[in-house]
Structure 1
C-alpha cells in the first residue's frame, strides 16, 4: 500500500504576523513596540520574530499582515531610502519613508496584504508617527495596528495623554502590548521595544514573564 506523503497543514497556510504593533510620539522622539508571534492557520510557526524593521538609522517600521509582504515592503523602502539619502547628502525625513511605504502599499494593494506603521526622528520635525494603509497616510500622536489592536483601543484612548515623557511612553507601549497579548490568540511571545531620538536608537526585549499583568491569573 502506498501512502501519499503529506506535510503538516501549516506548510500550505499563508504565514501571517497575527500581531499587535504600536508607535507613539514623545517630545524629542518616538517609541515603537510589537509582539513576536507569527502564525500560519491555527499554528504558531515562530515565537520570537522581531516585527520592528529598520528603514534607516533613525526610522523604523512596525509590521503586520502577511509576514512575507510586510518584510518585502520594508526591504524595498530600506534600499530606496539609502539611495535617497546619498542623493540628497543627508538623512531622509520620516515623512519620506512613510510616503514610500504608502506608495508601494497602494500600487500593489491587490497583491499585498500588509499594514505598516512608520515612526522615527528627523531634524526638521523631530519624532513622528505615520499610519500607512493602502492609499492612506496620516501623522498621528500614536497608532496601533494588527489583530491585537482591536482589544486595546479603549485602553489607549483612555490612557494616552499629550506631553508624556519618554519613560511614560515606553511604559504605555509595554502595557498596551501586554494587554493585547493576553487577549489575542495571534499575539504573544516577547515584546520588542525600539526608542528613537536625536541621540540614536535603543532596542529592548521584554520577556513574556516580565510583562505586567492587570488581573489575577
Structure 2
C-alpha cells in the first residue's frame, strides 16, 4: 500500500473523487450492510497518476545472426497477456517470401497485421519490377507503413532476416519507424540473456551446426531466466536456396540436456 501511494496508484480514492467519478450500485437498506461503491467502466481510481500503473512488458525472445551460409533465426513459443500464459506453442516467425522471414515481438495482432501487409507489398513489388525487393528495401517499406501509426497504441518489433542479391542481411524495424541493420540482433524481454550467450560464443563465419547450437542455447537460457519466455525453441535458416526450418524442441528438455553435457 505504501508503494502504491508513492507511485500514485492509490486504490482508496478520496471522498471528492468518489462523489465525482464513481457510480452507486444497488444495495440493501440495512444497517448491517455498508454501501458498496465501485468505479464504472474505464474510470481510474488514481488522482495522482490518471494513467494508472505502467503496462506489463511484452515477453518474448527472438534472435538472428549471420553465419557462413546465411542467417540463423531462433525464437521461443510462449505468448502471454500480462502475467497470463495464453499459448505455449505459438509461432513467432512469419515467412514473407521464399528468401525472407520475419521474427516478431510485441502484440500478436499487430505483428500478424504488419506481416501480412509486408508480404502483400513484396508480392506487388515483384509483379511491378520482376523481382523481390532487397532485405533493406523490405525493411524500408515496413518502416514507411508503420510511420502513420506513430504515437498510437501499437506494439510491433519486427526482425527481417533474408537473402538477396547482396547476400544475407538482417534488419530491425520498430513500430515508431526506427530501422537498423546489424550482424546480430535479439529482441524481446529475454534478449539480454540471449545476448550474454551470443556474445560469449559468436564469431563471424561460423559453420551451420555450430551456429544452430548457439542459437538454440541462447533461446534456451533466455527462456529459463525470463518468466515471459518459454515453451519450445524454433530455429530457422535463411540460405541462398531459401528458408529452412528445424524441428522444434521443448525448452525444458533442452535445458536438462545442456546441463548434463556441461557436467560431462
Give the shorter-chain TM-score range. Answer: 0.7 to 0.9
**Greater fraction strand:** 1
Larger Rg: 2
Preserved contact between residue 58 and residue 189 of structure 2 (Cα < 8 Å): no
Residue 170 of structure 2 is matched in structure 1 by 129
Q: Which residue of 1 aligns with 2:161?
A: 119
Query: Which structure would you say has the larger RCO, counting Cα contacts within 8 Å and 6 or more residues apart?
Result: 1
SS at structure 1 position matched to 2:190: helix
Q: Specify every segment of 5 or more residues in structure 1 that has no aligned partner in the other structure, as ranges.
A: 1-13
1:158 corresponds to which of 200, 210, 213 = 200
Change (3 A) 1:173 1:53: same
Deviations 1:44-100 (A, max 9, x none): 111111100011111011110111111111111011101111111123211122112
Shift of 1:172: 1.5
Deviation at 1:126, TM superposition (A): 1.1
Task: State which of 112, 116, 124 in structure 2 corresponds to 1:75.
Answer: 116
Range that drifts further, 18-27 or 93-102:
93-102
**1:7-18 to 2 correspondences below 5 Å:** 18=59
How many equivalent pairs are there?
203
How far the C-alpha of 1:155 sits from its partner, in A, is 2.4
- 1:117-155 per-residue CA deviation (whole Å, 9 max, x = no partner) reads 110111x21111112223322221110001111223332
Instruction: Report how far residue 105 of structure 1 moved.
Output: 2.9
Deviations 1:176-209 (A, max 9, x none): 1001000111101011111111112211212234
Does 1:206 find its partner at 2:242? no
Q: Do the aligned partners of residues 85 and 16 (structure 1) sit closer, same or farther apart at CA in structure 2, a change above 3 Å counting?
A: farther
1:6-85 to 2 correspondences below 5 Å:
18-85=59-126
Which residue is equivalent to 1:145?
187
Give the CA deviation at 1:165. Answer: 1.6
What TM-score do you get using the length of structure 2 for normalisation? 0.71
Is the partner of 1:147 in helix, strand or coil? Answer: coil
Question: Corresponding residue for 2:237?
Answer: 195
Q: Deviation of residue 115 (structure 1)?
A: 0.7
Counterpart of 1:10 in structure 2 is none
